[in-house]
């Protein structure tokens, strides 16, 4: 009998720690659980839903409105028109981490990811960052790959050890880093200057951009420098996880530090 290939539908609830119901989600938020995203059924206008939306805005928890059919795919339980995905990690704040690094006498090395949407790219970058001694990853609250079980697995567990800072506004974050004495560098093929030609031994934050569009112009304008990784003629770009690895290990090379 010939082999028959079967298709199995992925179970998001298993992979991303799904919780559902108004009270369960409200209690999880109040208990300090870190939420990747909340899905709210379109058309729900009760006061309870308004309260949850207000909390999401205050705490920078991503949320979106989806049709009722979406919930049938997620669970057959009484979801009450709302589901949430709990993150397997706890998020941090860069405003708390940076002073601690200075107090410990460390030279800060921060990696900022501008809208990296592929989970496997994100996991691979996190793994390399942990190996290269990066002190923290900074990601936007929206338009970023979720920190879910797939990301943790791809990172080989690194995401359980390296601080991830989910920030509401990357432009404001860059302003804070600039004011704190860090050199902020955007890594993009748009630059004429090569990465290895600048000093990377100072307190530093490197920005890597979206897989398709790169770093947004608003973010580039907030950075101190714009640099590129030199490429052979005819090659336009590298996979973002590969480019991030090259950039991080150029920092390691210049600093000649023990990881």
Q: For residue 2, what pLDDT is reported?
A: 41
Neighbours of 107 (CB within 10 A): 15
Beta strands 35-41 and 63-66: pairing type? parallel
Residue 92 pairs in a beta bridge with 165
88: left (phi over 0), alpha (psi -120 to 50) or beta: alpha
Record the pTM.
Answer: 0.84
Distance from C-alpha of 45 to C-alpha of 38, rounded to nearest angstrom: 15
Q: In the numeric block, which tokens belong to residue 249?
A: 């290990």
Distance from C-alpha of 93 to C-alpha of 80, rounded to nearest angstrom: 32
Please state the rounded mean pLDDT for residues 210-228.
93
Taking only the tens place, the pLDDT of each residue in 153-191 is 999 999 999 999 999 899 999 999 999 999 999 998 878
DSSP label at 237?
Answer: -
Taking only the tens place, the pLDDT of each residue in 23-70 is 889 888 888 889 999 999 998 777 888 888 898 888 888 898 998 888
Q: For residue 82, what pLDDT is reported?
A: 92
- 149 burial type by CB count under 10 A (0-12 exposed, 13-18 middle, 19+ buried): middle
What does the mean pLDDT of the chain come to? 88
Q: Which domains does the chain have, with CATH numbers?
A: 12-86 (3.30.1330.30), 94-255 (3.40.1280.10)
114 Cα distance to chain centroid: 8
Distance from C-alpha of 196 to C-alpha of 198, rounded to nearest angstrom: 6
Please state the rounded mean pLDDT for residues 78-82.
86
Residue ranges of alpha helices (H) inside 60-188 are: 68-74, 94-103, 119-132, 149-154, 170-179
Q: For residue 73, what pLDDT is reported?
A: 82
Q: For residue 7, what pLDDT is reported?
A: 35
Query: Does residue 194 have a pLDDT over 70?
Result: yes
Query: Does residue 8 have a pLDDT over 60?
Result: no
Taking only the tens place, the pLDDT of each residue in 98-144 is 999 999 999 999 999 999 999 999 999 999 999 999 999 999 988 89
Query: Which band of pLDDT confidence, cut at 50, 70 and 90, is reported for residue 234?
Result: low
For residue 238, give every residue at least 6 positions away whose Cβ sits within 8 Å of its Cβ, in sequence order, or none: 229, 231, 246
Residue 183 pairs in a beta bridge with 204
CB distance 9 to 66 below 8 Å:
no
What is the CA angle 155-12-84, rounded to 5? 95
Q: For residue 151, what pLDDT is reported?
A: 92
Of 128, 97, 125, residue with least CA distance to 113? 125
Distance from C-alpha of 112 to C-alpha of 173, rounded to nearest angstrom: 10
Distance from C-alpha of 249 to C-alpha of 259, rounded to nearest angstrom: 11
């Amino acid at each position: 009998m010939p082999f028959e290939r079967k298709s199995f539908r992925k179970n998001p609830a298993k992979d991303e720690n799904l919780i559902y119901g108004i009270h369960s989600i409200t209690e999880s938020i109040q208990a300090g659980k870190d939420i990747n995203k909340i899905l709210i059924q379109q058309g729900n206008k009760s006061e309870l839903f308004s309260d949850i939306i207000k909390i999401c805005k205050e705490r920078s928890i991503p949320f979106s409105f989806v049709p009722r059919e979406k919930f049938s795919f997620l669970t057959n339980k009484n979801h009450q028109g709302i589901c949430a995905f709990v993150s397997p990690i706890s998020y941090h704040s860069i405003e708390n981490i940076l002073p601690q690094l200075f107090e410990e006498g460390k030279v800060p090395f921060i990696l900022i990811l501008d809208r990296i949407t592929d989970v496997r790219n994100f996991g691979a970058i996190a793994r390399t960052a942990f190996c290269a001694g990066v002190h923290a990853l900074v990601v936007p609250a929206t338009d970023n790959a979720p920190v879910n079980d797939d990301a943790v697995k791809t990172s080989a567990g690194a995401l359980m050890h390296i601080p991830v800072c989910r920030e509401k506004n990357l432009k404001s974050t860059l302003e804070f880093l600039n004011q704190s004495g860090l050199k902020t560098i955007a890594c993009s093929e748009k630059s004429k200057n090569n990465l290895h030609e600048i000093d990377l031994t100072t307190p530093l934050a490197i920005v890597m951009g979206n897989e398709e569009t790169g770093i947004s112009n608003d973010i580039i304008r907030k950075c101190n420098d714009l640099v590129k990784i030199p490429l052979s003629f005819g090659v336009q770009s590298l996979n973002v996880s590969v480019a991030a690895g090259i950039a991080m290990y150029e920092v390691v090379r210049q600093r000649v530090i023990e990881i």
